[in-house]
Structure 1
Amino acid sequence: MRWFFFILFYTILCIDIDEPINLGSGISLPSLEQRDKSEGLQEFTPIKSTIGQSETQFFSFNVNTSSGVGEYYEFLIFLTGNICSQPSNVDANDTSLAVYYSFNSSMFQNFELAQMELFHNGYFQALADVPITSTENQNTVLYIAVRAPQNVDITSTWMYEIGVSQNDLVFQWDDRSWATLVDTDEDSALIVTGNLTSDGDYENVNVSNSRFSLYIYSDEYRHYFDSLNSSWCAIRNGPVLLDPSKLESSFTTRSGGLQQQFHVTGLNSSTRYIAYLVSDFAGKDFGGAVYQPFEFETMDKDACDLIYDLEFCNKVAYAVPNNPSLTKEELRTMYDDRAQALFQNFSKALQQIPCNASQDSVFSPIRTCDDCALSYKNWLCAVTIPRCSTRNITGYVSRDVGNNRNSWIDDNIQPYQEYYEVLPCFNVCEAIVRDCPADFNFVCPKHNDSIKLSYYWGVDGEFPTCNFVGDSFDVTSTAVKLVVNSLLALVVLVHLI
């Protein structure tokens, strides 16, 4: 993301630059005394300030010509800023704060000598390059001025932050959300970041040192950040409903890579919320990035409970059919223990396969017994622990009281309300056929009418259409509609489906 912005900055600034705003209408230029009182900016240390309408504020940055990013003949200075708050009568398309910058101190008397950028969506970015010939005296200074527009309310103020660095961007924004909803129940939600690492080194991670934070806003503030949605400090300082201190956060490798997960509790049923993920580069006082927000909605009744971080079915993280007499911990343990007990017989059967045989006698040159065991485990967890929803979505199966996926759920969990089951994805069945020895005679249903009895094929939508259990980072979806005109070829793998 950072190199993307570097290239974008450089392309924009080399091609074109906005013309300086006309300083007419009685706006006075700063005096020499005002210029000399400009506030000094330090490397990668943003400064926060409040500016009134029609006011101009002045800053300076001493260039270090012995370090920083540059090539041969120039040094690069990264300028970024955020608007943290602004007058309520400023619309998204209105002229916002303007930033002027130059290595010529005379720009404080004549802004036409400076380059200019406007804040857009609460964010400002620029790249200044310093030729080596301008740094021979080792006292090169970048001069910066921030000017506020006129406003009909003479008491109007903007709060903003500005940061300068010779090495990186102090503030950033990303057009990805970089966080996704795992699932919800009536009063909670589970949200995860994207894959944080690809090297599998998870041993020394500590969530207390994570740079990612999640902010939950009520849906009534859907348009609150329409003109500030790229501002890191606006998201952090807005009318947040639940801030990071009220969320339970941890790391997970459930999907095949390291992710940070956030358990959001204390929500209302059948209610929409807006989630913003932000990252802090070196603590909350040293800049950061904001990602695109996303919306999620809780279920409308308490027929399902959200469970995750199971010991055996460690890939499971979704809402399941519940009973009010059971706590979430009891519910999680009962489902997990049931799947683990069912796995034992298969594990014994797999031990009879020549997993460690020579290349000539091994059951597959590209698959191992470990691959088979993992795929079977994922399939078993998906069909043993049904995913529960209160929404009537195409492909979901309605479950009345006493009519659950299997008799064990009827007798032990005893769900007390009707719900809709999100059927397992068809590719969890395909995986065991692909990964396990032919000795097991595993076969998946071949015709649409038989498939839909036990599985579903996923398509993109607001809500999941099927329940996948496994390493989602490595999965290529088989989201296609299968039409095979043949006789039913179905082996009942266990009595659960």
Structure 2
Amino acid sequence: MRRSILTIITAVVFFIHLSVGIEVIDQPNYVYDVGFDLDIEEPAAAVQLLGLRNDKLKGLLEFTPIRNTIGQSEYQYYSFSVNTSSGLGEYYQFLIFLTGNICEQPESIEANETSLYVYFSFNSSMFQNFELGQLGTFKNGYFQGLADVPISNSDENEDSILYIAVQAPELTNRTATWSYEIGVSQNDLVFQWDDRTWASLVDTDNDSALIVTGNLTSSNDYTSLNATESQYALFIYSYDYKDYFNTLNSSWCAVRNGPALFSTSNFQSSYTDRNGGLQQQFYVSGLNESTKYIAYLVSDFKGTSFGGAVYQPFEFETLDNSACQLIYDLDFCSRVAYSVPAVKGIDKRELKTMYDENAHTLYTNFSKALQQIACDTDQDAVFSPIKTCTDCAQLYKDWLCSVTIPRCTTRNRTGYKYRTVGESRSTFIDEDLKPEFNYYEVLPCVNVCQAIVRDCPADFGFQCPLTNDTIKQSYYWDAGEGYVSCNFVGIVESSTSFAVRSILVNWPLLVVVFTFHILQLYI
């Protein structure tokens, strides 16, 4: 009997989810189905064919990877019992997803070189003749394969068995070993990799850094979320290890088990909606000044024992002295997250309070003036047909925070303003805070000022400098030189939906197989 059109459409949508690895996140700490609690028995026929002891053929459970160590020229054997009452077979012929990671391997393996081999088949005779099975390889520490259950074995009352063998190549080093993980699922990829970083540096000072993930969701209701239960984990490596994962850069377990200096348990982690969507942020302290580091973000699927995804790393460097201090999560200037001129004897918490309260005090008069503007009135009486007083208030707040809380650095780059002691942007900084070190100021972006002129009532008389020479006195612009050339406080616009995160998995085989199965439904 042919499937209904609705069933086919459902299969298409679900398959696309698998083929590109798109995960729709209902909440940041979503839960994965980790198995059916199947009773796996070692296939007696396969054991007899190989003359193996039962402990030499290991049974795999749904979405439950296992780790093993293998020596050069060695073979290891696994089996997986297909649950024919669940999984993708509900829509069409059963598909089994195989993935693996190499956690450690001999140093002689070069980048992009094949390391371990994987054979898999539903024919137990494969263990005697590997040409009967499909061949997959580990490259860059990652393996993926796709097995479809033979139609003749797809009876609803019969469990098919997938046989898997892992082979290590022969090396001149007879003591060489590999540590690897392998996982099987009827529903999803146990291990994944992504060609994006999915995390970025916000700013640093001389001994700390603030790092955020990409946008997780558009919801701002995050006060009850616990960051310690997040699926994301961050690892900080010394820059000396920048080439350490050249041959394992797609391996989740390699990054997780490498010689990291710091990991998530060492950081202060929380959530923020500073940039318009929910992000997880990591405050990394205890760093050395004027030092480069490598940061890796990974995603753990239901804990650290059930697979995960690894993202591309990124580099960052701390400042070379204590002239600046990194602050974030201010009460009033909530979008401020960068280093500011430091004050000796004042810790970061007190410093951010002093900056924040000064900006809030200066905002009071503007707020009172704005109340005199026609906002909630007839369309003919409002100051703008497309902008509101709320828009104006937010723009003014962003501008005020950026000019009263200067962004500080110790690096000399084009557009930065050198500030000596006693010659800061405002008398509040010079007379109340009194920084003891010279520093460079990253000037506010001129478009922050221009936005007020454009979207606030003309009655306020806001004006911005118009020529490059006058702009450079108090503002700067985005120079497009690969560094932060001006300080922008406010929402960063994005064309990507906050509710969807795409894992860009190298999985072209799925598209071919899926097309074949859909066509079979109409034959």
Normalising by the residue count of structure 1, what TM-score does the alignment of the two structures yield?
0.88
C-alpha displacement of 1:280 = 0.6
2:121 pairs with 1:102: yes
Q: Amino acid of the residue matched to residue 106 of structure 1?
A: S
2:95 pairs with 1:76: yes
Q: Percent identity?
A: 64
C-alpha displacement of 1:71 = 7.0
2:451 pairs with 1:431: yes
Select 1:300's aligned residue among 320, 334, 340: 320
Select 1:7's aligned residue among 1, 15, 19: 19
Correspondence for 2:204: 184
CA RMSD of aligned residues (A): 2.0
State whether residues 180 and 193 of structure 1, in contact with CA within 8 Å, keep that contact through their aligned partners in structure 2. yes
Structure 2 matches for 1:52-451, cutoff 5 A?
Answer: 52-70=71-89, 72-136=91-155, 138-451=158-471
Q: Distance in 2 between matches of 1:381 and 1:300?
A: 26
Select 2:50's aligned residue among 32, 54, 62: 32
Provide closer, same or farther for how the CA distance between residues 3 and 369 of structure 1 changes in structure 2, counting only shifts above 3 A.
Answer: farther
Q: Distance in 1 between matches of 2:227 and 2:153?
A: 45
Runs of 4+ in 1 over 6 A off after TM superposition: 2-5
Q: Distance in 2 between matches of 1:329 and 1:381?
A: 17
Provide closer, same or farther for how the CA distance between residues 363 and 416 of structure 1 changes in structure 2, counting only shifts above 3 A.
Answer: same
State whether residues 397 and 420 of structure 1, in contact with CA within 8 Å, keep that contact through their aligned partners in structure 2. yes
**CA deviation digits over 1:24-66, x for unaligned, max 9?**
xxxxx99522286421100000011111111000001111111
Q: Distance in 2 between matches of 1:287 and 1:82?
A: 9
State whether residues 193 and 310 of structure 2, in contact with CA within 8 Å, keep that contact through their aligned partners in structure 1. yes
Task: Please state whether the residue corresponding to 1:473 is helix, strand or coil.
Answer: coil
**CA deviation digits over 1:293-346, x for unaligned, max 9?**
000000011110001111110000000011212211121111101100000000
Select 1:454's aligned residue among 447, 453, 474: 474
Provide closer, same or farther for how the CA distance between residues 140 and 436 of structure 1 changes in structure 2, counting only shifts above 3 A.
Answer: same
Provide closer, same or farther for how the CA distance between residues 148 and 421 of structure 1 changes in structure 2, counting only shifts above 3 A.
Answer: same
State whether residues 237 and 260 of structure 2, in contact with CA within 8 Å, keep that contact through their aligned partners in structure 1. yes
Correspondence for 1:44: 63
Considering Cα pairs closer than 8 Å and 6+ residues apart, tell me whether 1 or 2 has the greater RCO: 2
C-alpha displacement of 1:204 = 4.0
Provide closer, same or farther for how the CA distance between residues 70 and 375 of structure 1 changes in structure 2, counting only shifts above 3 A.
Answer: farther
C-alpha displacement of 1:206 = 1.7
C-alpha displacement of 1:435 = 2.3
Provide closer, same or farther for how the CA distance between residues 329 and 199 of structure 1 changes in structure 2, counting only shifts above 3 A.
Answer: closer
Q: Distance in 1 between matches of 2:161 and 2:307?
A: 22
Q: Distance in 2 between matches of 1:31 and 1:159?
A: 27
**CA deviation digits over 1:349-371, x for unaligned, max 9?**
00001111022211222211111
Task: Please state whether the residue corresponding to 1:34 is helix, strand or coil.
Answer: coil
Provide closer, same or farther for how the CA distance between residues 296 and 414 of structure 1 changes in structure 2, counting only shifts above 3 A.
Answer: same
State whether residues 73 and 131 of structure 1, in contact with CA within 8 Å, keep that contact through their aligned partners in structure 2. no
**CA deviation digits over 1:214-255, x for unaligned, max 9?**
000001111111101111110010001001111111111111
Provide closer, same or farther for how the CA distance between residues 3 and 171 of structure 1 changes in structure 2, counting only shifts above 3 A.
Answer: farther
Correspondence for 1:19: none
Aligned positions, number: 456
Provide closer, same or farther for how the CA distance between residues 185 and 439 of structure 1 changes in structure 2, counting only shifts above 3 A.
Answer: same
**Which ranges in structure 1 are unaligned for 5 or more consecutive residues?**
10-28, 477-497
**CA deviation digits over 1:171-214, x for unaligned, max 9?**
11100000000000001100000001024443542212210010
State whether residues 73 and 132 of structure 1, in contact with CA within 8 Å, keep that contact through their aligned partners in structure 2. no
C-alpha displacement of 1:463 = 2.8
Q: Distance in 1 between matches of 2:383 and 2:95?
A: 59
Q: Distance in 2 between matches of 1:30 and 1:159?
A: 27
State whether residues 190 and 261 of structure 1, in contact with CA within 8 Å, keep that contact through their aligned partners in structure 2. yes
Q: Distance in 2 between matches of 1:204 and 1:327?
A: 28
Task: Please state whether the residue corresponding to 2:233 is helix, strand or coil.
Answer: strand
Q: Distance in 2 between matches of 1:134 and 1:428?
A: 66
C-alpha displacement of 1:132 = 3.6
C-alpha displacement of 1:111 = 0.8
Q: Amino acid of the residue matched to residue 248 of structure 2?
A: L
Q: Amino acid of the residue matched to residue 19 of structure 2?
A: I
Q: Amino acid of the residue matched to residue 111 of structure 2?
A: A
Q: Distance in 1 between matches of 2:269 and 2:353?
A: 21
Q: Amino acid of the residue matched to residue 347 of structure 2?
A: T
Correspondence for 1:493: none
Q: Distance in 2 between matches of 1:96 and 1:300?
A: 42
State whether residues 101 and 191 of structure 2, in contact with CA within 8 Å, keep that contact through their aligned partners in structure 1. yes
Task: Please state whether the residue corresponding to 1:277 is helix, strand or coil.
Answer: strand
State whether residues 257 and 473 of structure 1, in contact with CA within 8 Å, keep that contact through their aligned partners in structure 2. no
State whether residues 219 and 278 of structure 2, in contact with CA within 8 Å, keep that contact through their aligned partners in structure 1. no
Q: Distance in 1 between matches of 2:132 and 2:209?
A: 53
Task: Please state whether the residue corresponding to 1:340 is helix, strand or coil.
Answer: helix
C-alpha displacement of 1:139 = 2.2
C-alpha displacement of 1:441 = 2.1
The more displaced of 381-390 and 82-91 is 82-91
Q: Distance in 2 between matches of 1:301 and 1:313?
A: 26
Normalising by the residue count of structure 2, what TM-score does the alignment of the two structures yield?
0.84
Task: Please state whether the residue corresponding to 1:228 is helix, strand or coil.
Answer: coil
Q: Amino acid of the residue matched to residue 210 of structure 1?
A: S
Task: Please state whether the residue corresponding to 1:292 is helix, strand or coil.
Answer: coil
Q: Distance in 2 between matches of 1:421 and 1:46?
A: 51
Provide closer, same or farther for how the CA distance between residues 54 and 71 of structure 1 changes in structure 2, counting only shifts above 3 A.
Answer: same
State whether residues 49 and 125 of structure 2, in contact with CA within 8 Å, keep that contact through their aligned partners in structure 1. no
Q: Amino acid of the residue matched to residue 448 of structure 1?
A: N
State whether residues 30 and 109 of structure 1, in contact with CA within 8 Å, keep that contact through their aligned partners in structure 2. no
Q: Distance in 1 between matches of 2:332 and 2:321?
A: 28
Q: Distance in 2 between matches of 1:279 and 1:171?
A: 10
